[in-house]
Amino acid sequence: MRKKQYRLERTHLNSLLKLLREEGYQTYGPVRGELAMEWAPLTDVGELPRGWTSAHGPAHYRLENRGGESLFGYRNGPESLKKFLHPPRARIMKAERNGGAFRILEDRPAAAKRAFLGVKPCDVAAVAALDRVLLNDRYSDDIYQANRAGLFLIAVHCTECAETCFCASSKAGPQAKTGFDIALHERLDGAMPEYFAECGTAAGAALLEKTGAPPAPPEWARELADACALAAGAQQRKVDFSSAAAVVERNYDSPRWDDIARRCMACGNCTQACPTCFCVNFEEHSSLDLQTAERHRVWDSCFTQNFTYIHGGSVRLSTKSRYRHWLGHKLARWQQQFGSPGCVGCGRCITWCPAGIDITAEFEWLKAGAPAAI
Amino acid sequence: MSFKHEKPRVAVFKFASCDGCQLSLLDAEDELLAVAGAVEIAYFPEASRRMQKGPYDIALVEGSITTPHDAELIHQVRRQSKTLITIGACATAGGIQALRNWRDVSEFVRVVYAKPDFISTLKMSTPVAEHVPVDLELRGCPIQKEHLIEVIAATLAGRRPNLPTYSVCLECKRRSNVCLMVAAGTPCLGPATQAGCGALCPSMGRGGYGCFGPMENANAPSLAERFYTLGATQPEVDRAFRSFNAWAWQFRKVSEEVHQQ
């Protein structure tokens, strides 16, 4: 079946937001914050960062206003959808003393229905990667499951990438192929932007139909593919994921890890900014009167010492061993575990590393045994 | 932990410090009654005139060791205390007064005091752990009152307290703070500093000051390198690392390298 394709204008985007709210969704979009793009509640496309983009490099991010009418010329800010689906902190249990025994109090907050407008293909792919880990693996995570069930994704294809992007390598982008309810391509050839819209799910199809938008010209699909191919070709960074397992394995004792460890601060920013890093720690809390106790789940990082703490101490004491573990898991072992890389190529770990360590450059170095060309 | 008495006996001792850390115990307004109900405050001169003799189950020690009298007294405190917990940057790292460690204190004494003969002081301001074994350190300038209450609650429950030893950055990211170093070029000690403050300064748009001292596996030289890349001068890098936790060895090493250059 050929998917129905529509030609949208700004007013149609507002209709989409309105229809979603009528269906009980909180609507979010990329909004310009003081220092970076962030996901914020959005009720009108007028709140989108029209004319704004950002410059990216290792340990470098700056908002930039280049003018123009583009609503989606923004590049990914520090945050993905991870914090909405897999919150940084969650209380997972509360117990109360009840005489000699105790009872568990049920107080799980209801999951929200959230719709996101303008999600980049890498972040759509990151949701799919989290699905494989937190939904479809042996055990499913009920907090994630509840948030995921209420998620509606309106993706926007990338026709220009940031300097730190390498989604063409991970095949997550620049064109979103799957995982969205609706995907948009912003066309800037006219005086005002127009949007080529495709549906990815029945819910997306129903919503697009309700906007009353006309069908898209048939050549727009081809033009989208061409624009994305151009963007992919312009990406300077790359990772050969098919060779990752072999590269990581044969470089276990590479001196390169020592070199990285001289720069790496083990601060964990890469793992927190990563849209697929899902590791958590559990904290027990008890009240001073010993009458109540709580268990909290908090984002963790494989760069902390506590992460590998077992009886007798931590397994990975050195920063070197932690970076080696992280790179190896992201690029190689995740593939063996979950069938796809744990990296979608969004480049956040490069941009938001305060030391400017570039995972693609390090991987290339390990692969070639010499510095990468870039 | 089992206690000889019904409630653990707590004592609070002060050495060279500003009192801010012990005040945070009194500042725990909402929890103060619960704390008073859960422990016996046996010795806390700042709060009560009723000062009981040891031994104590928990000693909270504030301040650094700066006089011969301090150096003697801390051993008495240790002998009387089952568990000794140091609180704050002074007690855990020597405090801001450890800046004297790079100078000639006798010269200060001559300049500042009309009768220097009355002043009996040590050349260095040193953390408590350099003098006696310490069971637990609570970092911060000042400490977080929540940490103190957490330690008491954990002690009563016989569990490990939740005290982070990782970077401030994790707290920033959990709060959705945008990284100031990356997005604004503002030097921040966060990537080398132990969490605990809840990323207070970065949440207010200021780079971190390192109040909680070096984190586990701190890589202060890499951070200093970054500061230079961002355009900081040598005196600026020096000042960044020489503050409340200047004498903590990871920060000390960096600032001493700056001075050698």
Total number of residues shown for chain A: 374
Nearest of B236, B240, B196 to residue B220 by alpha carbon: B240
Q: Residue A12 falls within a domain, yes or no? A: yes
Q: Is A341 on the interface with B (CB under 8 A)?
A: no
> Would you list which residues of chain B are within 8 Å, Cβ to Cβ, of chain A?
31, 34-35, 37-38, 149-150, 152-154, 156-157, 159, 162, 165-167, 169-170, 173-174, 176, 178-184, 188, 190-192, 205, 215-219, 221-223, 225-226
Residue A374 inside a domain? The answer is no
Instruction: Please state whether the peptide bond connecting residue B221 to the residue before it is cis, i.e. omega within 30 degrees of 0.
Output: no
For A145, counting Cβ atoms within 10 Å of its Cβ (0-12 exposed, 13-18 middle, 19+ buried), the class is middle
Question: How far, in Å, CA of A10 to CA of A194, rounded?
Answer: 7
Q: pLDDT by residue (tens digit) across A130-184? A: 999 999 888 899 999 999 999 999 999 999 999 999 999 999 999 999 999 999 9
Are A226 and A281 contained in the same domain? no
* Residues B28 and B80 reside in one and the same domain: yes
- Residue pairs between chains A and B whose CB atoms are closer than 8 Å: 138
Contact B170 A304 (CB under 8 A): yes
Looking at residue A1, its pLDDT comes to 38
Classify residue B105: in a domain, yes or no. Answer: yes
Is A252 found in the same domain as A350?
Answer: yes
The gap between the terminal CA atoms of chain B, to the nearest Å, is: 51
Interchain contact A95–B (C-beta under 8 A): no
A295 and A180 fall within a common domain:
no
- Dihedral over alpha carbons A285, A287, A292, A296 (to 10 degrees): -20
- Which CATH number do you get for residue B152? 3.40.50.700
Last residue of a domain, one of B130, B157, B184: B157
Longest dimension (CA), chain A: 74
Position B195 in a domain: yes
At B113 the pLDDT is 93
Pick the residue from chain A with its C-alpha nearest to B153.
A288
Quick check: B129 and B86 in contact, CB under 8 A?
yes
Domain with B182, as residue range(s), is 168-260
Decide if pLDDT at B6 tops 80.
no
Of A60, A78, A268, the CB nearest to B166: A268
Q: Check CB contact of A47 with chain B, cutoff 8 Å.
A: no
* Distance from the B227 Cα atom to the nearest Cα atom in chain A, whole angstroms: 10
Q: Give the residue from A201, A234, A267 where a domain finishes.
A: A234
Predicted confidence at residue A108, as pLDDT, reads 74
Query: What residue ranges of chain A have pLDDT lower than 50?
Result: 1-2, 374
Contact A59 B38 (CB under 8 A): no
Residues B143 and B48 in one domain: yes
Separation between Cα atoms, residue B164 and residue A296, nearest integer Å: 14
**Measured over all CA atoms, what is the biggest interatomic distance in chain B, rounded to whole angstroms?**
59
Whether A167 and A158 have beta carbons less than 8 Å apart is answered as yes
The whole-angstrom separation of Cα A315 and Cα A318 is 9
Confidence at residue A299, expressed as pLDDT on a 0 to 100 scale? 98
Residue A373 maps to a domain:
no
How many structural domains is chain A composed of? 2
Q: Which residues contact A177 (CB under 8 A, 6 or more apart)?
A: A121
Last residue of a domain, one of B134, B157, B180: B157
How far is A88 from chain B, CA to nearest CA, in Å? 5
Query: Which chain A residue has the Cα nearest residue B149?
Result: A288
> Are residues B34 and B139 located together in one domain of the fold?
yes
Q: Which of A61, A262, A298 sits opposite B183 (nearest CB)?
A: A61
* A207 and A252 both lie in a single domain: no
pLDDT, averaged across chain B: 94
Give CA–CA dist B254/B248, Å, rounded.
Answer: 10
* B104, B133, B157 - which closes a domain: B157
d(CA A288, CA A285): 10
| Residue of B157, B181, B217 lying closest to A354 (CB–CB) | B181
For residues A335 and A196, membership in a common domain is answered with no
Q: In A, which residues are within 8 Å of B184 by CB distance?
A: 35
In a domain, B73, yes or no: yes
Q: Hey, what are B52's tokens?
A: 């009981």
Residue A333 inside a domain? The answer is yes
Q: Decide: residue B260, CB within 10 A, 0-12 exposed, 13-18 middle, 19+ buried.
A: exposed
Q: Is A77 on the interface with B (CB under 8 A)?
A: yes
Note the helical H segments in chain B.
Answer: 20-26, 29-38, 68-80, 89-93, 105-112, 145-157, 168-174, 180-184, 200-203, 220-229, 234-241, 249-260
CB-based contact A267 B191, cutoff 8 Å: yes
Asked if A222 and A250 sit in the same domain, the reply is no
Structure tokens belonging to residue A70? 């583009």
Q: Tell me the HSE value of A211 on the side-chain side, using a 13 A CA sphere.
A: 28
Query: Which two three-digit tokens encode residue A217?
Result: 């010209």
Residue B176 is classified by DSSP as T
Is B43 found in the same domain as B24? Answer: yes
Q: Looking at per-residue confidence, does B170 or A102 come out higher?
A: B170
In a domain, A184, yes or no: yes
Distance of alpha carbon A351 from alpha carbon B182, whole angstroms: 7
> What are the backbone dihedrals phi and psi of residue B122, each rounded to the nearest 5 degrees, phi first?
-85, 160
Per-residue 3-state assignment (H helix, E strand, C coil) for chain A: CCCCEEEECHHHHHHHHHHHHHCCCEEEEEEECCCCEEEEECCCHHHCCCCEEEEEECCEEEEEECCCCCCCCCCCCCCCCHHHHCCCEEEEEEEEEECCEEEEECCCCCCCCEEEEEECHHHHHHHHHHHHHHCCCCCCCHHHHHHHHCEEEEEECCCCCCCCCCHHHHCCCCCCCCCCCEEEEEECCCCCCEEEEEECCHHHHHHHHHHCCCECCCHHHHHHHHHHHHHHHHCCCCCCHHHHHHHHHHCCCCCHHHHHHHHCCCCCHHHHHCCCCCCEEEEEEECCCCCEEEEEEEECCCCCCHHHEECCEECCCCHHHHHHHHHHHHHHHHHHHHCCCCCCCCCHHHHCCCCCCCHHHHHHHHHHCCCCCC
pLDDT in tens, A202-251: 999 999 999 999 999 999 999 999 999 999 999 999 999 999 999 999 99
C-alpha to C-alpha distances, B82 to B8, B9, B58, nearest whole angstrom:
10, 10, 6
Mean pLDDT of B236-247: 96
- Tell whether B206 and B146 lie within a shared domain: no
Of the candidates B232, B248, B115, the residue with the CA atom closest to the CA atom of residue B194: B248
- B255 and B134 in a common domain: no
Question: Does residue B93 sit in the same domain as residue B21?
Answer: yes
Q: So what's the pLDDT on residue A372?
A: 58
Closest to A142 measured CA to CA, from A179, A109, A119, A115: A109
Q: For residue A213, give both structure tokens.
A: 């938008």
User: What is the secondary structure of B49-84 as a DSSP string?
Assistant: S----S-EEEEEEESBB-SHHHHHHHHHHHHHEEEE
**Shortest CA distance from A290: residue in chain B:** B157
Test B154 with A286 for CB contact under 8 angstroms. Answer: yes
CB contact under 8 A, B219 and A266: yes
Residue B1 lies in a domain: no
What was the ipTM of the complex prediction? 0.94
* Chain A residues in contact with B152 (beta carbon < 8 A): 288
pLDDT bucket at B122, cuts 50 / 70 / 90? very high
| Mean pLDDT within B81-95 | 97
Q: Are residues A259 and A348 in the same domain?
A: yes
Can you tell me the distance from the alpha carbon of A325 to that of A257, in angstroms, rounded to the nearest whole number?
Answer: 10
| pLDDT exceeds cutoff 70 at B4 | no
pLDDT digits (tens, 9 = 90+) for B208-227: 999 999 999 999 999 999 99
- Among A234, A256, A289, the domain-final residue is A234
Q: Which two tokens stand for residue B176?
A: 């959705």
Full domain range(s) for residue A285: 241-368
The per-residue pLDDT for B48 is: 85
From CA A241, how far away is CA A230, in angstroms rounded? 21
Of A264, A288, A354, the CB nearest to B31: A288
Q: How is residue B30 written in tokens?
A: 């909402």
pLDDT reading at B255 higher than 60 = yes
Q: What is the pLDDT of residue A237?
A: 96
